[in-house]
Amino acid sequence: MKITRIAQAGALAAVAALALAGCASSGGTSPSSSGSSTPTDSGVNVTLDTSLTGTITAGGSSAQANAQAAWTAAYNAQVKGVTVNYDKSQGSGGGVTNFLSGAYDFAGSDAPLSADETTKSKSLCTDGGVNIPVYLDGVAIIFNVPGVTSLKLSGETIAKIFDLKITDWSDPAITKDNGTALPAGKITTVARSDGSGTTANFTNYLAATQSSVWTYPAGKNWPVSGNVSLQKGGSGVVGAVKAGSGTIGYADHSAIGDLKSAEIIQDGTAVPFSAEAVAKTFEVAAVDASNGVAGDLSKKFDYSKLTAETYPIPLVSYAIACTTFKDAAQAKVTKSYLGFIASSIGQQIAAKNAGSAALPDSILKDAQKTIDAIK
């Protein structure tokens, strides 16, 4: 897409307004970003047609919720005639289901379409649905243990806790990870009850790095039964961990509010979540995993490439869309909005309001090519 200085200046003003108002803290306090929050004239920029009108219906990933709220506000500051309705309550699984049924113009999902879902999408999209990366963050391991403000956990210990093999906070494995004993107390794990891309990213990490301990396949549905508190949506997990005692769960980092998250031990180093560490993970470990549809930009992570500088549980989230719409007018408004969120300014808005990491320009340029092909 071409650069338009007027549109770009408007976006910069919108970013500044959002930064002052903190508008995207929908339902909680968003973590501050350690990434760049100051827009520049460089990067991948877009032209917005401010005369567009219409309604975009979308939903899915709760991980994208804060970013979507900020994107919508900034987009509407320029394109006032387009209404964007994004339903975060669906989760990635519900978002994909509604997209495949034709109810959504695009789905937000923390996992790309599966092979079966890609096949199903061909009845809707002709060539098939495409997965466009729009959001980069990490899965945080959140905890609420009385008297504990700092927690370090190895991947093996995390796997054993969530597989219910470690059930007390005084367990020797937790003591070893932290260099000191934690107060004794029952551990309650909290997981997603709905089909979740956050679950998929978390179980991808566990299955790839802890296969001797974690014997379940990766997927959107939580595989462990027993003494587990199952909650709908990322907000449900966060709420249950916060309301409990001795609780531990997982959620997109943007959603955790004032809860503490564990530092994850990688190559002997305890790595806290940061936008820089997640960006480094993407840089060294993200590899192409196209579903075969022209323009698809699916990624997967090669966890063998993790280092002491990378956050070990990354989360890349997608906008899933058709490149051919049945309604040309609907294609035009959806294309405009997706182009905005997959621009450098869109990424800076997400970083400021959701604490996420900006996707690299190389990915944004590829995303713009795919979005440009929407018709």
pLDDT in tens for each of the 375 residues of the chain? 443 433 444 544 555 454 434 443 333 333 433 333 333 446 899 989 999 999 999 999 999 999 999 999 999 999 999 999 999 988 899 999 999 999 999 999 999 999 999 999 999 998 999 999 999 999 999 999 999 999 999 999 999 999 999 999 999 999 999 999 999 999 999 999 998 999 999 999 999 999 999 999 999 999 999 999 999 999 999 999 999 999 999 999 999 999 999 999 999 999 999 999 999 999 999 999 999 999 999 999 999 999 999 999 999 999 999 999 999 999 999 999 999 999 999 999 999 999 999 999 999 999 999 999 999
Rounded to 5 degrees, what angle do the CA atoms 162, 255, 68 make? Answer: 130
The pairing of strands 130-144 and 314-321 is: antiparallel
11 three-class SS: helix
Pair type for strands 54-60 and 269-271 = unpaired
Q: How many of the other CB atoms lie within 10 Å of CB of 298?
A: 21
Q: Is the Cβ–Cβ distance between 138 and 314 less than 8 Å?
A: yes
Q: Measure the CA–CA gap between 351 and 267, rounded to whole angstroms.
A: 27
372, 150 in Cβ contact below 8 A? no
Q: How far is it, in rounded angstroms, from Cα 70 to Cα 181?
A: 42
* CA distance linking residue 255 with residue 364, whole number of Å: 24
- Scanning 229-291, the segments in alpha helix (DSSP H) are 233-243, 275-285
Q: What is the pTM of this model?
A: 0.88
Instruction: DSSP letter for 351, please.
Output: H
Alpha helix stretches (DSSP H) within 46-191? 65-76, 91-100, 115-125, 155-162, 172-178
CB 106 within 8 A of CB 367: no
- Give the closest residue to 71 by CA, choosing from 298, 336, 252: 336
The answer to whether the CB of 19 falls within 8 A of the CB of 30 is no
